[in-house]
Structure 1
Amino acid sequence: MKQLIFAAMNNDEEVIKEEPAEELYERKTFKVDAGQEPLRIDRWVQQRVENASRNKVQQAIDAAFLTVNGKAVKSNYKVKPGDNILLMSLVNPDHTEVKAENIPLNIVYEDDDVMVLNKPPNMVVHPGVGNYTGTLLNGIAYYLLQQKPGITEDDLPRYGLVHRIDKNTTGLIVLAKTAQAAAHLAKQFFNHTVSRKYTAVVWGNVESDEGTVVAHVGRHLRHRKMFDAYPEGDHGKHAITHYKVIERFNYVTEVECRLETGRTHQIRVHMKHIGHTLFNDREYGGDKILKGTIYTKYKQFVENCFEVCPRVALHAATLGFIHPKTNKELFFEAPLPDDMRLLIEKWRNYTNKN
């Protein structure tokens, strides 16, 4: 299976950046040195980037995953001293074959270039160890094959997936339907210009009506399936979350979280970092009573709440981005799913009675 995957090699040109874009794509930016003779861009890349076969480079150029000075070019473009070359490629791609499966999809919006879906809970976004079938991407592959029989990941890497949300997080996710649209969207995620707001229920009475959490997010040093917050430094990646209180229920709080960056488990880690673990977040300890009384009646009420919303209380509520072809801004909203809506109603009623 051919993929747009490259690794930078040591060379005289300056590698300006090498960071992940929403954990699915990374971008490498090179500046051509002053002594460079005119050379075709495809040959230049092949000489300086590991695994850059002629076919892979051509795919990247055709899909606009490779640009020069911010513009798409053809393979015969000749690099010049001072040119800024941007290369986007998948980060740590999973080579698991995506098996097409007829899985119902909740499509919020679709045209020839993009598709916006409302993901249900308990659905993994893409295949991986332990989840080879039944994922959102399995369903996407089947859906796209009905429209374009014969389409493969050579034509559309990872079938247009450019970002992801956790298995038990519900809400909006955008996919590209062409490689060119995928490159455009991946750059928007990397540049943090995509607008995303989440609704969450967190433990505790959040003191400030609004605030900002700035802390690196990286793999937990002991528990590799978890992430943790770290001071600005070498471990983890820079992350910013803005939050605002929607409604208070004494022992829990409904909040809106706006992502400025998009790191794995970012909201879950950042809210725990400031003492407000997400409600029923098993991985981070939110499936225990973290705030409240010792009375049996209260404990039973919380257990009932866990049953009503048997997952982390997090929902990707809004999504805004620039359309890759029309350049018009698109904005979408997904209403709270029933489990979170009922959870909030239960807490509201409990607060009003007590």
Structure 2
Amino acid sequence: MADSEWTTRGDEAGLRLDKFLAAPDRLRSRGKAVTALERGKVYVNGAEAGLPDAARRLAAGDVVRLWVDRPGSARRRPRTGPSGELDIVFEDDDLLVVNKPPGILSVPLERKADAVSVYEQIEDRNRSHGKRRPLVVHRIDQDTSGLVVFAKDAQAQHRLKVQFARREPERIYLAVVYGHPEPESGTWRDTLVWDTTALIQKESHPRDPRGLEAISTYRIVESFRDASLIEVQLRTGRRNQIRIQARLRGHTLVGEERYVYGPAALRPIAFGRQALHAYRLSCTHPSDGRALTFVAQPPADFKDLLARLRR
């Protein structure tokens, strides 16, 4: 279901919010309405409405919005995994940029309900300061470290997401791969299909109607005996894009467990996750239009890996 927005008609004035949401042309059931309210996905006139607001009586002209892509935030189960202080790279009235450590989700996932997420860490911080919950702009994989952007209001979120949809932000990653890509710099261009059962990307024929174009440019930054440190710039933003594109060329990421092919199976280099870090991100400020560039240095485990490879 896509994000939706409805304006209360005159004949709906006085209707309870949960009944309004449960209408046949909206969520179609009271249960779905309650779930949306519980998970903090409903806003009325720009203000968040939670489960206690289910009995709220709407007035004619009230604007009710359902944000489907907003992670469920009302759930409060014990969470596992690393946690700690947020590494905030930048913050103002419109956006928040975080340097995410490896092992933490960008946003909550139903299939990993007990895992820690940066979103929930920001939410906890904001609650203690009386601030609104963050809004998702994009995300990176759980075991990928680096820069993630969140918005602070709907307008900033929309403008930032439009930038990402138009491929305007510059997103540069550092990765350690097996082998030595040839040539030393170039472009990776593939057609990918997401396997919804296996939850992995697969290569597809360019004429496959399900296929999506994936483009990255790369250059070797440093070469080691059995591996290379490369810089990769995303030209598109497919899920797991760098991981699958490197694997398709026989240069699996060090530490990779899902997209494995080539030297990784023969000469394993010990590393506890895929060696991938979102290093630099440039975008346009959603309010004043100024150019913004953020940089996050790799975490300690990534630096330790490089030190071992240099010996």
Q: Return the TM-score normalized by structure 2.
A: 0.73
C-alpha distance in 1 between matches for 2:145 and 2:302:
10
The match for 1:339 among 277, 301, 304 is: 301
Question: How far did residue 95 of structure 1 move?
Answer: 4.8
C-alpha distance in 1 between matches for 2:210 and 2:179:
28
The answer as to whether partners of 1:103 and 1:138 remain within 8 angstroms in 2 is no
Question: How far did residue 210 of structure 1 move?
Answer: 0.7
Equivalences for 1:110-149 in 2 at 5 Å?
110-128=91-109, 129-149=111-131
Equivalences for 1:283-322 in 2 at 5 Å?
283-285=258-260, 289-290=264-265, 302=268, 305-306=269-270, 309-322=271-284
C-alpha distance in 1 between matches for 2:127 and 2:221:
42
Question: How far did residue 126 of structure 1 move?
Answer: 1.5
Question: How far did residue 137 of structure 1 move?
Answer: 1.1
The answer as to whether partners of 1:4 and 1:60 remain within 8 angstroms in 2 is no
Q: Which runs of 5+ in 2 are unaligned?
A: 10-24, 29-41, 48-60
The aligned counterpart of 2:210 is 235
The aligned counterpart of 1:12 is none
4+ runs deviating over 4 angstroms: 58-63, 88-91, 93-96, 98-103
SS in 2 for 1:283: coil
Question: How far did residue 286 of structure 1 move?
Answer: 6.7
Asked if 1:324 is matched to 2:298, the reply is no
Q: Which amino acid aligns with 1:258?
A: Q
The match for 1:201 among 158, 161, 176 is: 176
C-alpha distance in 2 between matches for 1:90 and 1:208:
43
The aligned counterpart of 2:223 is 248
Equivalences for 1:211-290 in 2 at 5 Å?
211-220=186-195, 224-232=198-206, 233-285=208-260, 289-290=264-265
Q: Matched residue pairs, number?
A: 264
C-alpha distance in 1 between matches for 2:158 and 2:279:
24
Equivalences for 1:155-174 in 2 at 5 Å?
159-174=134-149
CA RMSD of aligned residues (A): 3.6
Q: Return the TM-score normalized by structure 1.
A: 0.65
Asked if 1:97 is matched to 2:74, the reply is yes
C-alpha distance in 2 between matches for 1:114 and 1:271:
32
Question: How far did residue 231 of structure 1 move?
Answer: 2.9
Query: Structure 1 133/205 Cα, relative in aligned 2: closer, same or farther at 3 Å?
Result: closer
The answer as to whether partners of 2:252 and 2:262 remain within 8 angstroms in 1 is no
Query: Structure 1 177/95 Cα, relative in aligned 2: closer, same or farther at 3 Å?
Result: closer
Asked if 1:108 is matched to 2:95, the reply is no
Task: Please list the CA deviations of residues 58-86 of structure 1 after superposition, one character each: whole Å capped at 9, or x if unmatched.
Answer: 979979xxxxxxxxxxxx9xxxxxxxxxx
Q: Which runs of 5+ in 1 are unaligned?
A: 8-40, 44-49, 64-75, 77-87, 293-301, 350-354
